[in-house]
Copies of this chain bind each other. A is one copy, B any other.
Amino acid sequence: MNRADTDSTPLYDPALGLAGLPSAPRWESAGQRSLYRSDWVSLDLIAVRPPTAPPYEHHVVRTANAVAVVLEHPDRGVLMLHRHRFITETTGLELPAGGIDPGEDPVAAAVRETAEETGWAAVRPRLFLTRCVSNGNSDQLFHFVHAEVGEWLGGPESPDEGPAVWVRHEHLRDVLGRDLVSCAPSSLGLLHAMTFGLLRDGAAAGSVQAREQG
């Protein structure tokens, strides 16, 4: 029986937003216990009551929120780092990014991380996106900041993060489509900035051109 054509699943209506939809069933939490605690990663078990299923204990990973930076030069494009990641044994291009210190503002963290990892000042920084990294098992938020490249500050602090490279606006689709960006946050930040016109003309032009080819 194919019911796709007689389907009663509602359609999203932009005029109503989420309020126009059947409501999301609420999962209640009732206390937690700590399994492991450190300055970098903590692990808790939260007692949770799903709306209809029996209560149970759910693991939650707690790490500092993080921020990634789309640092733009009008002609040279977006600054990325060529990085090796030992945890996943992957090598690829990433946006400058890092953890937000306790009490630190995400935009201030973006400027700090950019200076530390690339040696460049990030000017006119603006938070443009926040997403939950993995909301089924982690409380971490990932913020995304757009900034323009400013002065050379004399960094980076360490060569271990990997060398910086400019990716021209018209090549952003290339690095994303060829899987040269292995980490989800860097892919997401670039795609969102490209889709919502946060980058200069080159990005939009490259995107239209490539879609017309496809």
Contact = CB atoms under 8 A, between A and B. Distances in A.
Interface in A114-166: 120, 130-142, 149-152, 158-160, 162-166
Interface residues of A, number: 111
Given A11-B165, A133-B133, A195 B204 contact: no
6 contacts: A7-B166, A24-B83, A27-B85, A40-B59, A52-B158, A177-B196
Interface in A78-130: 79-80, 82-88, 90-93, 97, 120, 130
Contacts of A137: 40-41, 63, 87
A31 interface: no
A50 B70 CA distance: 25
Given A40-B137, A50-B158, A197-B214, 16 more contacts: A24-B83, A24-B91, A25-B160, A40-B59, A46-B86, A53-B158, A87-B138, A90-B135, A131-B182, A134-B183, A173-B195, A184-B184, A188-B191, A195-B211, A197-B211, A208-B211
A152 to B, nearest CB: 4
Contacts of A133: 133-134, 184
Contact of A59 (B4, B41, B82, B85): B41
Contacts of A165: 9-12, 21-22
A194 interface: yes
Nearest to A140: B134
A88 B11 contact: no
Nearest to A178: B17
B132 A4 contact: no
A82 B24 contact: yes
Given A24-B163, A40-B59, A46 B87 contact: yes
Contacts of A167: 11-12
